[in-house]
Amino acid sequence: MLDLGKTFLQSVERSPDNLAVVDEERQLNYRQWYGEISHVVAGLQSMGMVKGEHVLAVLQNRYEMATLHWACQFLGLIMTPLNWRAKAEEVAYCMRDAEVRVVFYEPFSAEAVRTACADGNVPRVAVAMGDPQGDITFESLLSTPNAPDARPLGDSEAISLMLYTSGTTGNPKGVPRRHRHERAAALGHVAQNHYRRSECTLGVMPLYHTMGVRSLLSMVLVDGTFICMPRFDPELALQLIAQYRISCLYLVPTLYHDLLRKYQSGQHDIATVRKLGFAGASMPDGLLIRLQELFKPELFVNHYGSSEVYTFSIEEDAVAKPGSAGRAGINTRLRVVDMEKNKVDSPVAPGKEGQIIVDLAGDEAFEGYWKRPDANQKSLRDGWYFTGDIGYLDEEGDLFVTGRVDDMMISGGENISPIDIESVLSLHEAVDEVAVVGLPDERWGQRVTAFIKAGRSVTAEELDEHCRQSDLLNFKRPRDYIFVQDIPKSPVGKLLRRLLISGQYCRALPTEPSTSNTSEQSAVGRASGEEK
């Protein structure tokens, strides 16, 4: 298989004049971008960087981040991106864990990086810094004299990238991925999203996240255009769609939600967007329907996967079967196994929930965590990756993801997943966003509680009646409704249920104006009836 350096050269050779990357006023075609990547490669070599060493990048989605990613692929370095919001201790941990040789940073991450590098043992490269404090600058790398055209020094077996997981239950885990893993995942992304030559996408999903990396690589595979967007701004996103005739979007549901709220008919031109894809979280039915009505896309893909194994499954018509994650992707096999036995050879019957597992023999699958045998022992068994996700296969063989093992609620002895409750509530016209968790309850064990971000005034009684009129089983109905101004999410849009369960988030968050008319407190509405 080709390595990623040769993959970039393919596009330079096929379509040198195609627009490749855009970042505000900077617009480069493939020939021009290759020239600037070559200078960065030469600059890194002049710093003594050699194949197999880690480069830590604490940068937003900007031209320099994308350029550095490709320079690493040519030189055989391991691109190791980190959330630009990371704290100093997180930066320091990843520097030690990956034995980093150089750190790239920008104004937003400067304080954390400089604190983490206080001992001065690791050189720093400053990006767009007015005062680099003596550090090397990215501009100096771009002006490296006598830089020859970069030639790929890696191969398909070399490690291309190491992403760090979120680390919600301890230190983050490094996920090393080889060139062949990354190229196979990008090819699968192109095929499963029906991308054609010269597509154009909005590069807003962070390049420290697998969704962002996939967008970057897939555009190069089709000689397409990557429009850098450091931080999401729905108004700017709509302007960029019109200006650059963006043809495909690959976002988390939260960003689609924000786009819908900002869109104004007659003011924003979105006609060029023909392909929608989403991942990172489930999309409520109500949001699916509104997006379908607005964009009328030729393809609407629900992609389900992870950093470890990029694609688990694909549903190419998300609206036709809401909630379905579809079937195993091109490079993947999957099963749903008994949660108590948790063995590869214990598949459950259609309709029964179990843990979702994925074959590690797939072309996109990683081979194990970086220096974490404990994590490997927990998640990798008999050649399969145990995802920690719960789901079931329906009679037609389509996968439905119903939550995380840790998210499952037990109320009155009944196992309850929050996903189907959230889908029902999302269809109420007053509900902007919803999250359902189980809060401790002396009688029920856990009390099904819905956190509601409302678009207009609504009462708990109205929402309870909506649930009663749906096909939601009675014992799954929320018993409490808590109205909030926002739902907590990670930087890539994943719902952070643990913050709702802890109670700290809600105590610190101003509530919506009173909508419940209860005597308890203005933010809480209690559904009538305690029957199960």
Domain definitions of the chain by residue range:
408-526
Contact 492, 206 (CB under 8 A): yes
- Label residue 500 by pLDDT band (50, 70, 90): confident
Residue 497 is predicted with a pLDDT of: 82
pLDDT digits (tens, 9 = 90+) for 83-110: 999 999 999 999 999 999 999 999 999 9
At CA 405, angle to CA 404 and CA 410, rounded to 5?
A: 110
CA distance 78 to 53: 6
**Of 280 and 233, the one with more pLDDT:** 233
**Residues forming beta bridges with residue 275, ordered by sequence position:** 248, 299
Residue 526 is predicted with a pLDDT of: 61
Determine whether 173 is exposed, middle or buried from the number of CB atoms within 10 Å of its CB (0-12, 13-18, 19+): buried
Indicate the angle between helix axes 179-192 and 210-221, nearest 10 degrees.
Answer: 80
Residue 80 in this model has a pLDDT that exceeds 70? yes
pLDDT digits (tens, 9 = 90+) for 506-530: 544 444 433 333 323 335 666 654 4
Tokens 């996968």 belong to 399
Q: Determine which of 50-59, 407-416, 486-495, 521-530 has the lowest per-residue pLDDT on average.
A: 521-530
Residue 70 Ramachandran class (φ > 0 left, ψ -120 to 50 alpha, else beta):
alpha
Residue 510 is predicted with a pLDDT of: 44
pLDDT digits (tens, 9 = 90+) for 226-266: 999 999 999 999 999 999 999 999 999 889 999 999 999 99
- Give the percent of the chain with pLDDT over 70: 92
State how far the alpha carbon of 345 is from the alpha carbons of 215, 348, 357, 381, 405, in Å: 35, 10, 11, 11, 19
CA distance 406 to 388: 8
Q: What is the mean pLDDT of residues 202-206?
A: 96
- Label residue 423 by pLDDT band (50, 70, 90): confident
Residue 234 is predicted with a pLDDT of: 96
What is the fold of 408-526? GMP Synthetase; Chain A, domain 3 (3.30.300)
- Label residue 117 by pLDDT band (50, 70, 90): very high
Residue 417 is predicted with a pLDDT of: 77
pLDDT digits (tens, 9 = 90+) for 354-402: 999 999 999 999 999 999 999 999 999 999 999 999 999 999 999 999 8
Tokens 């993801």 belong to 401
Average model confidence (pLDDT) for the chain?
91
CA distance 403 to 93: 30
- Label residue 408 by pLDDT band (50, 70, 90): confident
